[in-house]
Amino acid sequence: MKKPVLFINACVRKGSRTRSLAEQLLEKLDKPYEEIRLNEITFPVVDEDFLMMRDRLIAGQEFQSPVFALARQFANAETVVIAAPFWDLSFPAALKQYVEQINVVGVTFRYGEDGVPAGLCRADRLFFVTTAGGDYVPEAFGFGYIKALAQNFYGIGDVRKIEAAGLDIVGADVVAIMGAAEEAIADIFCAV
């Protein structure tokens, strides 16, 4: 049975603050979810042979191939939740590897006659949950990248970021910072 929410978990630490916020969001969504733990996936090496094989499958519209399992799963989700801590001006590399696997012409998006991508995903909402030790969190490299793909390729119009930043700065009030993020989650569902 397909579950309406897809939870893409890029957290690796046991006591992950990002995961904690994502779990609160999932609780508020109050729907069954399927979790993908990116640290448990062995992604294929994307080399020329892999790309040629994938291109052949796409050209033949063989979208039921196991190669496209993650893309089909993503395309069929009603809501997507991504939990990804802010690392090295972006997010964990496993999330980028995951995106490379789901970005499939004919499954998650198509190109129109004008060459502009059009989304094929069912989801109408994507939540990007992140935490950062510092306060320097440029949007373009992490959330901005995911938002651009979601809106411009996958057709997911409602893309929201839930963030707690500055958590590891000496003297930071971690409880207050996390509390503000938790309130932001609650506010999303009060407005609905």
Average confidence (pLDDT) per 10 residues, the chain, 192 residues: 88 94 96 96 94 97 97 97 91 95 97 95 96 82 93 97 92 93 90 57
- pLDDT value at position 145? 95
Phi/psi of residue 48, nearest 5 degrees: -60, -40
- pLDDT value at position 139? 76
- pLDDT value at position 191? 60
- pLDDT value at position 29? 95
Q: How would DSSP label each residue in 4-34?
A: SEEEEE---STT-HHHHHHHHHHHHHTS-EE
Q: What's the structural domain count of the chain?
A: 1
Name the pairing type of β-strands 79-83 and 5-9.
parallel
Q: In the 8-state DSSP scheme, what is residue 133?
A: S
Other beta carbons within 10 Å of 176: 9
- pLDDT value at position 1? 55
Using alpha carbons, list the distances in angstroms from residue 5 to 44, 135, 171, 189.
25, 30, 37, 16
Residues 6+ apart with CB under 8 A from 138: 89, 144
| Cα(175)–Cα(106) distance, integer angstroms | 45
Distance, CA of 43 to chain centre: 16
Q: Which residues pair with 7 in a beta bridge?
A: 35, 81
Where in the sequence is the domain holding 52, given as residue range(s)?
A: 5-190
| Cα(38)–Cα(10) distance, integer angstroms | 5
Name the pairing type of β-strands 158-164 and 117-119.
unpaired
Residues 6+ apart with CB under 8 A from 180: 164
CATH number at residue 178: 3.40.50.360
- pLDDT value at position 192? 54
